[in-house]
C-alpha cells in the first residue's frame, strides 16, 4: 500500500521515508499520538478516569493501602525515580534514566513494536524478543541482534539457554551488535524451554544458574541482568536465596516476576514476596507482574520498595503504557490513552510495517496485534472478528478505514 493512499490519508497515518518495515522514530516524523510536553517535577500525574480524559488529578493514598488504591508519588521518595540508576558493568557502565522497562515478549517485542513504544517512552530500556543462544551459534535469529545498531534508545538483548559457553558467546555477539546490556532469562514458563533446562528451568538448578551468570558476566563489559520468578513451585520456592546466589555470581540487577513457574500467569502476583527479596539484595531490583496501569505501578513500587518496574503483557496492544507509567513516576501529566481513531491508525500502521517487512506472513503476525489494539470502543468485537477472517492486507486496511469513519 503506497504511503499516499487514501487509506493512509483518511486514517491520518504519518508519511515516512524510512526503510520498508521500519517505523520512523519520533525525531524523524511526527508521532501518531504524541505525549504532552514535560512539566515541572512537582506536577501530579492523572489517575483513574483522568487517564482517558487527559485531566490531571492528584494521586492521594498512603503506602500500604490495598491494591485497589493508588500510592502517592511522594511516598516513594522525593525525586527517587527521576534519579538515573547506574549499572557499572565490567568496564562499560550504563545509566537508566527511565525506571520503567518493557519486558521481552516472544512474538511481540520486535523492532516494529519497539518503535511504537518509543513514541511514548524515548528513554526507556526496551528488549529484543528472547534469543536462543544455541540457535544464534548456528546462525539463526541473527537479525534480532544485528538490527540494534540502527535503533534509537537503549535496547537490551535477552538470552536463554542452559550452556554457559554458548551463552557467553551469544553475549559477546550481542555486545558487538550494540546491546545496551545483556539479560538472562530464568523465568520463561514455557514447557519446551524449561524442560531443557533453560528459562525457569534454571530455578531448579541454582549452581548451573550461577555458572551461567558468571560466564556471561566475564564475557562482556556491559552490565548483565537476570529476569526470573519467585520459584519453581510454591512448596520449594526460595526467592531470597536464589536471588542472592545470582547477585553473588555477578548479576548487576534483577527483575522478579511475582509468581512461580507453576502458576504461570494465573492468580495474583505476590508483591510482598518481591519486597522480601528487595530487602535482601544490594543490587537494583525491578518488580514485574500485575502492572497494567500507572496506578498499578505506583502501588507496586510502594509495596515492594523496588527500584523500578518491568511491564509485559499489559503493553500488548498498548504501546503507550510504558510512557504513561514513566510520566506518573516522574510526576508529569500522564499522556491520555488513545481513543478509537488513534487505535485504528496505529493498527493500520503496524499492519503495513509488518507486511512490508515480513511479506504475507506479516498479516498473520499483525492479526494478534490488531486484536489487542482494537478494543475499548463500540463495535470493536465485531471488527476484531472481521479482521481475524480477512485474508489480505488490503482488505484488513479497508476494514480499519471503514471503522474509523463510523461514529
Q: Is residue 124 left, alpha or beta, with left meaning phi > 0 and alpha meaning psi from -120 to 50?
A: beta
pLDDT tens for 95-137 read 999 999 999 998 899 999 999 999 999 999 999 999 999 988 8
Looking at the predicted structure, is the pLDDT value of residue 260 above 60?
yes
pLDDT of residue 79: 66
Looking at the predicted structure, is the pLDDT value of residue 21 above 70?
no
pLDDT of residue 407: 66
pLDDT tens for 98-107 read 999 999 998 8
Architecture of domain 77-330: Alpha-Beta Barrel (3.20)
pLDDT tens for 322-343 read 999 999 999 999 999 999 999 9
pLDDT tens for 45-57 read 332 222 233 333 3
Least-confidence region, from 139-153, 259-273, 327-341: 139-153
pLDDT of residue 139: 82
For residue 321 the three cell numbers come to 503504557
pLDDT tens for 185-239 read 998 888 888 877 889 899 999 999 999 999 999 999 999 999 999 988 877 789 9
Looking at the predicted structure, is the pLDDT value of residue 41 above 90?
no
Alpha carbons 9 and 146: distance in angstroms, whole number:
33
Question: Which residue numbers are catalytic?
Answer: 188
What is the residue-wise DSSP string for 19-47? PTT----TTTS--SSPPPPP--TTPPPP-
Least-confidence region, from 6-10, 143-147, 339-343, 366-370: 6-10
Instruction: Report which DSSP code applies to 104.
Output: P
List, in order, residues 6 or more apart from 172 with CB less than 8 Å away: 219, 220
For residue 251 the three cell numbers come to 548479576
**Residue ranges, CATH 3.20.20.70, the chain:** 77-330
Alpha carbons 59 and 73: distance in angstroms, whole number:
7
Among 27, 64, 120, which Cα is nearest to 333's? 120
Beta-strand relationship, 85-87 and 94-96? antiparallel
Instruction: Report which DSSP code applies to 356.
Output: H
The secondary element (H helix, E strand) that includes residue 404 is helix 393-405
**Strands (DSSP E) found in 81-238:** 85-87, 94-96, 100-102, 126-127, 131-132, 155-160, 182-186, 224-229
Query: What pTM does this model have?
Result: 0.81
The secondary element (H helix, E strand) that includes residue 228 is strand 224-229
pLDDT of residue 37: 40
Amino acid at each position: 500500500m503506497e504511503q499516499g493512499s487514501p487509506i493512509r490519508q483518511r486514517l491520518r497515518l504519518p508519511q515516512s521515508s524510512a526503510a520498508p518495515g521500519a517505523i520512523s522514530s519520533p525525531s524523524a516524523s511526527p508521532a501518531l499520538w504524541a505525549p504532552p510536553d514535560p512539566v515541572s517535577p512537582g506536577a501530579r500525574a492523572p489517575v483513574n478516569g483522568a487517564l482517558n480524559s487527559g485531566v490531571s488529578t492528584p494521586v492521594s493514598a498512603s503506602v500500604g493501602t490495598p491494591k485497589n488504591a493508588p500510592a502517592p508519588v511522594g511516598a516513594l521518595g522525593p525525586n527517587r525515580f527521576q534519579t538515573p540508576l547506574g549499572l557499572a558493568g565490567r568496564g562499560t557502565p550504563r545509566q537508566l534514566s527511565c525506571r520503567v522497562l518493557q519486558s521481552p515478549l516472544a512474538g511481540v517485542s520486535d523492532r516494529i513494536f519497539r518503535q511504537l513504544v518509543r513514541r511514548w517512552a524515548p528513554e526507556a530500556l526496551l528488549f529484543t524478543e528472547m534469543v536462543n543462544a544455541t540457535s544464534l551459534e548456528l546462525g539463526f535469529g541473527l537479525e534480532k541482534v544485528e538490527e540494534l545498531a540502527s535503533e534509537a534508545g537503549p535496547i537490551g538483548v535477552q538470552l536463554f539457554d542452559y550452556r554457559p559457553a554458548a551463552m557467553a558467546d551469544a553475549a559477546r555477539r550481542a555486545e558487538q551488535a550494540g546491546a545496551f546490556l545483556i539479560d538472562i532469562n530464568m523465568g520463561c514458563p514455557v514447557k519446551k524451554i524449561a524442560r531443557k533446562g533453560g528459562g525457569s528451568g534454571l530455578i531448579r538448578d541454582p549452581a548451573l544458574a550461577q555458572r551461567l551468570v558468571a560466564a556471561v558476566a566475564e564475557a562482556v563489559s556491559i552490565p548483565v541482568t537476570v529476569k526470573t520468578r519467585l520459584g519453581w513451585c510454591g512448596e520449594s520456592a526460595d526467592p531470597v536465596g536464589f536471588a542472592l546466589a545470582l547477585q553473588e555470581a555477578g548479576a548487576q540487577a534483577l527483575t522478579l516476576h511475582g509468581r512461580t513457574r507453576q502458576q504461570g500467569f494465573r492468580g495474583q502476583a505476590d508483591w510482598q514476596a518481591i519486597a522480601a527479596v528487595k530487602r535482601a539484595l544490594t543490587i537494583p531490583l525491578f518488580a514485574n507482574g500485575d502492572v497494567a496501569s500507572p496506578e498499578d505501578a505506583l502501588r507496586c513500587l510502594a509495596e515492594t520498595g523496588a527500584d523500578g518496574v518491568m511491564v509485559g503483557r499489559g503493553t500488548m496492544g498498548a504501546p503507550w503504557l510504558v510512557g504513561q507509567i514513566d510520566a506518573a513516576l516522574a510526576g508529569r501529566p500522564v499522556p491520555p490513552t488513545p481513543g478509537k481513531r488513534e487505535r485504528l491508525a496505529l493498527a493500520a500502521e503496524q499492519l503495513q510495517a509488518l507486511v512490508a517487512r515480513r511479506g504475507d506472513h506479516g498479516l498473520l503476525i499483525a492479526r494478534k496485534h490488531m486484536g489487542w489494539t482494537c478494543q475499548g470502543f463500540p463495535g470493536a468485537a465485531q471488527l476484531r472478528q472481521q479482521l481475524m477472517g480477512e485474508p489480505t492486507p488490503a482488505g484488513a486496511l479497508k476494514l480499519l478505514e471503514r471503522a474509523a469513519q463510523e461514529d
